[in-house]
Amino acid sequence: MNLFSRTSQWFVCLAVLLLMNTNCKKSDGGSEPQSLTLSFTVNGSYNGTLSYNGLNNNPTIRFTFSSPIDQATIPAGITLKQGGSSVNYTQQLENNNTILQIKPAAPLSGFSSYNLTVTEQLRSRNGGRLLNPVTINLSTGIDSSRKFPQISDEELMTKVQQQTFRYFWDFAHPTSFLARERSNGNNNVVTSGGSGFGVMAIVTGVERGFVTRTAAVTRLRTMVGFLKNTAVKVKGAFSHWIDGTTGAIVPFSANDNGADLVETSLLMQGLLTARQYFNGAGAEETALRADINAIWNGIDWDWFRRGGQNTLYWHYSDNLGWAMNLPIRGWNECLITYVLAASAPTNPIPKIVYDNGWAANGAIRNGNNYYGYNLPLGPDRGGPLFLSHYSFLGINPNGLVDAYANYNTQVRNHALINYEYCKQNPRNYYGYSDSVWGLTASDIPNGYTASSPTNDVGVIAPTAALSSFPYTPQQSLAALRFFYYVLGDRLWKEYGFIDAFSLKDQWFAGSHLAIDQGPIIIMIENYRTGLLWNLFTSCPEIKTGMRNLGFTAPYL
């Protein structure tokens, strides 16, 4: 990859005019001094703005003035700073003081920001001064040196899984052991969907030897017992957010203070996976399976048809009813909800609810080509990548077909479209490349958004590329190597990779999110061994439910 070898060539030329105050003073010749204008280039060009990204560590800034400047005013009139600290520079005047060249006295630090300011204290020989200061923002490119020792790719994947596992084991809520929503928020709030991911992470952790089977069963008995006996449920379903100590519903929004069927589905996906894994005859594993089945049997999936409609609804509240009024329609992350509703032990939904509600009688189809890849379902260019992750943590897309799509084609091409978009970088964001890619829902500077090719704010989320490992192994591995070795400890923290980053803004999130960390460890494992796919799809109810919806696959 030659992302950073080209940084010194990122330049365009354009003049910036700054008028100089004449002070209404006569020169020795008796005439008023002429107004002074300047233009500048950075490394030989001007890019149309006052901001420059990806510079080499020794940039040259060249000012051209329409009249000679007073050399004595340069130190006060031109400053180079990093934050509040001054940086020394060298200067060279040419062409009778009408051209000034500025260079750092020593190489600048890699991937750092500097400000070069020209103030009104810079004067022309005839006494003119700047009416308004100008500040040129200079950002150096990434230091491409390796930040950590080289290890094998297999060792690296294991390392990422183990570090990410810590989010769900070490950072779990101390009472319920459910997954906290995020690392930088209210640590008492746990997330039902993220806890489902956490359960699958624990299964992976046992298989990888990160924890013992006995420790995992003990932990899961507490988690599942809390969900069964303490957490508030509505029609057997869980809320999006739960108080990790009391089990009370924590409203997600003003009207979202009850059951969230999609979050419940993501939780149940994890619980059924654990039920299949912990299949021992001992008392503890037997009791764990019984508690999981009690939760599974207690969800009234049919209720969420809202009176027998041929669609499922996302939310229901005991005191607000159907106030959210959000039908669950595809294509999005909610395929798992229809699969589980069709697989329910009691009152499963019939196929017409899937066809009419989820597939909108075929309106779910896309069929267009993007960057040479056909996309069977969903929005323009696929939308954020989590749409192809959440349901497929447990559902194996390989060989999976129904009336609407080949799901291996769907998820693989969705990831490849996302990759190609970032690689081609139509918005010219600094840093995007074949090794820096992946748009999905994540934290962004001062907020949160669902990034995609149609909503691209220049923020990359590691979970996007890394959770796509089963679909795009070569492209995901390139991203993994770059994230770990080149970006290094800017991304790599206590619980694995941080949630998101922007190279154009030199911004790195101070957060980890359960719903982003979980798919990393799970999907890397599915890529390596298919463990979670094999477990979830081994559920006899799931096989029956998926067949009833019209799916075919080698495992059904």
- DSSP letters for 97-141: TTEEEEEESSPPPTT-EEEEEE-TT-BBTTS-EESS-EEEEEEEP
Over 90: is that where the pLDDT of 29 sits? no
- What pLDDT score was predicted for residue 129? 79
What tens digit of pLDDT does each residue of 488-514 get? 999 999 999 999 999 999 999 999 999
Q: Which two tokens stand for residue 152?
A: 């094998």
Residues 6 or more apart whose CB falls under 8 angstroms from that of 342 comprise 348, 349, 351, 354, 545, 546, 548, 549
Give the β-pairing of 492-493 and 365-370: unpaired
- What pLDDT score was predicted for residue 34? 54
Over 80: is that where the pLDDT of 2 sits? no
Please answer whether residues 312 and 328 qualify as being in contact, where contact means their C-beta atoms are separated by less than 8 angstroms: yes
Over 70: is that where the pLDDT of 6 sits? no
What tens digit of pLDDT does each residue of 283-298 get? 999 999 999 999 999 9
More confident site: 34 or 543: 543
Torsion over CA of 105, 111, 112 and 116, rounded to 10 degrees?
60
Region 191-214: mean pLDDT is: 98
Region 48-63: mean pLDDT is: 92
Region 462-477: mean pLDDT is: 98
Please answer whether residues 200 and 164 qualify as being in contact, where contact means their C-beta atoms are separated by less than 8 angstroms: no
Mean pLDDT for all residues in the chain: 92
Please answer whether residues 99 and 74 qualify as being in contact, where contact means their C-beta atoms are separated by less than 8 angstroms: no
CATH number assigned to the domain covering 153-548: 1.50.10.140
In the three-class reduction of DSSP (H, G, I as helix; E, B as strand; rest coil), residue 555 is classed as coil
Q: Which amino acid is at 172?
A: A
Region 330-353: mean pLDDT is: 97
Count of CB atoms within 10 A of residue 123's CB? 21
Over 80: is that where the pLDDT of 408 sits? yes
CA atoms within 13 A on the CB side of 176: 26
Comparing CA positions, the residue from 519, 517, 436 lying closest to residue 475 is: 436
Region 208-216: mean pLDDT is: 98
**Residue 438 pLDDT class (50, 70, 90 cuts):** very high
**Residue 20 pLDDT class (50, 70, 90 cuts):** very low
Q: Write down the H helix ranges in 230-382.
A: 261-277, 283-298, 335-343, 351-353
Q: Report the residue count for the chain.
A: 556
Please answer whether residues 53 and 19 qualify as being in contact, where contact means their C-beta atoms are separated by less than 8 angstroms: no
Please answer whether residues 261 and 328 qualify as being in contact, where contact means their C-beta atoms are separated by less than 8 angstroms: yes
Reading phi first (left if > 0) and then psi (alpha if -120 to 50, else beta), residue 480 is in: alpha
Locus of tokens 């909108």: 360
Helix 473-481 / helix 153-169 crossing angle, nearest 10 deg:
80
Q: Write down the H helix ranges in 344-406.
A: 351-353
Q: Which two tokens stand for residue 375?
A: 């996309």
- DSSP letters for 402-454: -SS-BHHHHHHHHHHHHHHHHHH-TT--TT-SSSS----EEEETTEEEE-BTT
Reading phi first (left if > 0) and then psi (alpha if -120 to 50, else beta), residue 517 is in: alpha
Over 80: is that where the pLDDT of 37 sits? no
Please answer whether residues 339 and 407 qualify as being in contact, where contact means their C-beta atoms are separated by less than 8 angstroms: no
Instruction: Give the span between the Cα atoms of 89 and 108, in whole angstroms.
Output: 11
CA end-to-end span of the chain, whole Å? 42
CATH number assigned to the domain covering 7-140: 2.60.40.1220
Reading phi first (left if > 0) and then psi (alpha if -120 to 50, else beta), residue 159 is in: alpha
Please answer whether residues 532 and 393 qualify as being in contact, where contact means their C-beta atoms are separated by less than 8 angstroms: yes
In the three-class reduction of DSSP (H, G, I as helix; E, B as strand; rest coil), residue 150 is classed as coil
Region 6-29: mean pLDDT is: 33
The domains of the chain are located at: 7-140, 153-548
Over 70: is that where the pLDDT of 86 sits? yes
Q: H/E/C letters for each residue in 268-309?
A: HHHHHHHHHHCCCCCHHHHHHHHHHHHHHHHCCHHHHHCCCC
Q: What is the largest CA-CA distance in the chain?
A: 105
Q: For the whole prediction, is pTM greater than 0.85?
A: yes
Instruction: Give the span between the Cα atoms of 463 and 411, in whole angstroms.
Output: 15
Tell me if domain 7-140 and domain 153-548 are identical in fold. Answer: no
- Contacts of 485-494 with CB under 8 Å at 24 or more apart are 485/146, 485/147, 485/148, 485/150, 486/142, 486/144, 486/145, 486/146, 486/147, 487/142, 487/147, 488/146, 488/147, 488/148, 489/147, 490/111, 491/462, 492/148, 492/163, 494/163, 494/166
Q: Which of 26-40, 117-131, 238-252 has the lowest mean pLDDT?
A: 26-40
Give the β-pairing of 99-104 and 189-191: unpaired
What tens digit of pLDDT does each residue of 122-181 get? 888 988 877 777 899 999 998 889 999 999 999 999 999 999 999 999 999 999 999 999
Instruction: Give the span between the Cα atoms of 388 and 409, in whole angstroms.
Output: 11
